[in-house]
Amino acid sequence: MPIPLSAVLDHADAGLPASRDRLFDLLRIPSISAQPQHAADCGRAAAWWRDQLTGLGFEASVRPTAGHPVVVGHHPGPAGYKGPHVLFYGHYDVQPVDPVSLWHSPPFDPQLVDGPRGKRYVARGAVDDKGQTMMFLEALRAWHDAGGGIPVRVTVLIEGEEEVGSVNLDAFLAANKAELKADLALISDTGMWDAETPAITTRLRGMTYAEVTLKAANRDLHSGLFGGSALNPINALTKILGDLQDETGRIQLPGFYDNVKPVSNAQRAQWDALGFDEGAFLGGIGLATPVGERGYAALERLWARPTADINGIWGGYTGDGSKTVIASEASAKVSFRLVPNQDPDEVMAQFKQFVQDRLPPGATVTFQAFSRAPGIEVNVDSPHVRAAQAALAEEYGKPAVLMGSGGSIPVVTSLRTILGLDSLLIGFGLDDDQVHSPNEKFEEVCFHHGIRSHIRLLGKFAAG
């Protein structure tokens, strides 16, 4: 006789304090992938995941890469299982914690504190991505302990370099393509519409990220002796970058919009119906006036239009006091958020051409290309998305919002291009979780609902 779903949900409810304790154990590991001194901690986090999966009956192992290790676990599901083979992806690495002085508690000493929505967890990695991966692990645990066993065929893939661009993941996926074959990828590294409304992310913007360096004289110059005659590369670079957008917010790279597909009227109407309050959105970060491409509503600008941003710029003297110098070079980091059909490499070529066309006599320019990923649009007319919609609607008592994300998740592209998998993106983070910032937090109500939602989703997959 099948175990009723209610028994598995009740078990998860009763076990929430123990689930929190296990999450806190993981949060105490300072697995900062960007800092070499934490390489051993990344190894500890990988071993922690392996041991947890092994304890649930998985065949699990820590796999080396050229960087931090990957954890892979396999569970066959029940005998005669006919449903989809699910590959769950997450990452155990976290961002650096600087500036430490702004944290209200040590970043790797997780705290249970009161907030306006009840209890919340405060620590580096609380929501990105340790808390969100733990929701799936705890859903598996509830089925294992109270549901007669894990009801689906599952592969778990947990990497340790997401926060540094997943630099070794593609090679690992390619080398283990046959082993990692599945029917869909499930990822919890995104957000909800709001604390009471679940969401499935169906589109992601891509990215081209570059550094540009403009050089002029062969050394720094005295501005009194050379000012008015020698080219100032900081002046030249800021002038060029100032031309990236016109007065309407339209990006001026040659051919930039050639492959941008317009949003359908039906999609635009769905987003308009969400009642997004851009004033409140900006007010929460101390701003009042929207910017961006003129003629488009807020959600379309955030989710479905490409952008260009200067993320850092430097050159010359920036220390205390004064030093009247004309620097010999100036640099900037520039990112382009891209929409589906835009080619990241093509955009990089357009950016190079844009700068070179405006380069003043006497200047030379070099470029570095960093991260690159195309935009993604998920097919919403699939049985996996429908199963997720049903599971979330049952948990929250309302339909899930099919939303976009202005950010990028490069692994979604890797999973599609290397393994041929479409991704189901169900996240439980909120806009105020302070991801990548001091005092990162995760609401316990989101963590709890996330566990229950994954329990329901596993049940849907098991039912076929």
- 30-88 per-position pLDDT tens digit: 999 999 999 999 999 999 999 999 999 999 999 999 999 999 999 999 999 999 999 99
CATH number of the domain enclosing 210: 3.30.70.360
CA distance linking residue 312 with residue 233, whole number of Å: 16
User: Is the predicted pLDDT of residue 203 greater than 80, yes or no?
Assistant: yes
**Which of the listed residues 325, 345, 373 is the one where a domain comes to its end?**
373
Question: Does residue 454 contact residue 136 with C-beta atoms inside 8 Å?
Answer: yes
- Asked if 327 and 401 sit in the same domain, the reply is no
Residue 274 located in a structural domain = no
Distance of CA 281 to the CA centre of its chain: 19
- Asked if 44 and 145 sit in the same domain, the reply is yes
CA distance linking residue 127 with residue 118, whole number of Å: 16
**Which of the listed residues 373, 408, 423 is the one where a domain comes to its end?**
373
Long-range contacts of residues 171-174, Cβ cutoff 8 Å, at least 24 apart: 171/65, 171/66, 172/63, 172/65, 172/70, 173/414, 173/415, 173/418, 173/419, 174/418
DSSP result, 232-295: -HHHHHHHHHHTSB-TTS-B-STTTTTTPPPPPHHHHHHHHHT---HHHHHHTTT--S--SSTT
**Which of the listed residues 373, 394, 415 is the one where a domain comes to its end?**
373
User: What confidence tens digit (pLDDT) does each residue in 238-284 have?
Assistant: 999 999 999 999 999 999 999 999 999 988 998 999 999 999 999 98
- Structure tokens given for 282: 């900006």
Q: Write down the residue that tokens 């154990």 correspond to.
A: 25
- Asked if 256 and 383 sit in the same domain, the reply is no
Half-sphere exposure of 161 (CA within 13 A, CB side): 17
* Average pLDDT of span 7-16: 98
- Asked if 369 and 383 sit in the same domain, the reply is no
Lowest mean pLDDT among 99-103, 271-275, 376-380, 456-460: 376-380
Please report the pLDDT score of residue 99 as a whole number. 95
| Closest to 327 measured CA to CA, from 338, 318, 339 | 318
Residue 162 located in a structural domain = yes
- Asked if 186 and 235 sit in the same domain, the reply is no
Domain residue limits at 416:
5-204+375-462
Question: Does residue 183 contact residue 422 with C-beta atoms inside 8 Å?
Answer: no
- Asked if 27 and 94 sit in the same domain, the reply is yes
- Asked if 107 and 232 sit in the same domain, the reply is no
- Asked if 146 and 156 sit in the same domain, the reply is yes
Question: Does residue 423 contact residue 410 with C-beta atoms inside 8 Å?
Answer: no
Q: What pLDDT band is residue 407 in, cutting at 50, 70 and 90? A: confident
Q: How far, CA to CA in Å, does 234 sit from each of 129, 196, 239, 428?
A: 39, 48, 8, 43
- Asked if 26 and 104 sit in the same domain, the reply is yes
- Structure tokens given for 42: 């990344």
User: What confidence tens digit (pLDDT) does each residue in 133-180 have?
Assistant: 999 999 999 999 999 999 999 999 999 999 998 999 999 999 999 999
**Hey, which bits of 316-443 come out as E strands?**
325-326, 329-338, 364-373, 376-377, 401-405, 423-425, 441-443
Give me the number of domains the chain comprises. Answer: 2
Q: What pLDDT band is residue 424 in, cutting at 50, 70 and 90? A: very high
| Closest to 451 measured CA to CA, from 146, 74, 59, 185 | 146
Residue 161 located in a structural domain = yes
Q: What pLDDT band is residue 2 in, cutting at 50, 70 and 90? A: low
Q: What is the reported pTM?
A: 0.86
DSSP result, 132-182: HHHHHHHHHHHHHHHSSS--S-EEEEEES-GGGT-TTHHHHHHHTTTTT--
Please report the pLDDT score of residue 96 as a whole number. 97
User: What confidence tens digit (pLDDT) does each residue in 353-370 have?
Assistant: 999 999 999 999 999 998
332-358 burial, b for 16+ CB within 10 Å, e for fewer? bbbbbbbbbebbbebbbbbbbebbeee
Residue 272 located in a structural domain = no
User: Is the predicted pLDDT of residue 1 greater than 70, yes or no?
Assistant: no
Residue 320 located in a structural domain = yes
Average pLDDT, the chain: 96
CATH number of the domain enclosing 387: 3.40.630.10
- Asked if 231 and 352 sit in the same domain, the reply is yes
Residue 336 located in a structural domain = yes
Q: Write down the residue that tokens 């800021």 correspond to.
A: 238
- Asked if 38 and 81 sit in the same domain, the reply is yes
Count of CB atoms situated within 10 Å of the CB of 458? 28
Residue 32 located in a structural domain = yes
Residue 269 located in a structural domain = no
- Asked if 232 and 129 sit in the same domain, the reply is no
CA distance linking residue 126 with residue 95, whole number of Å: 11
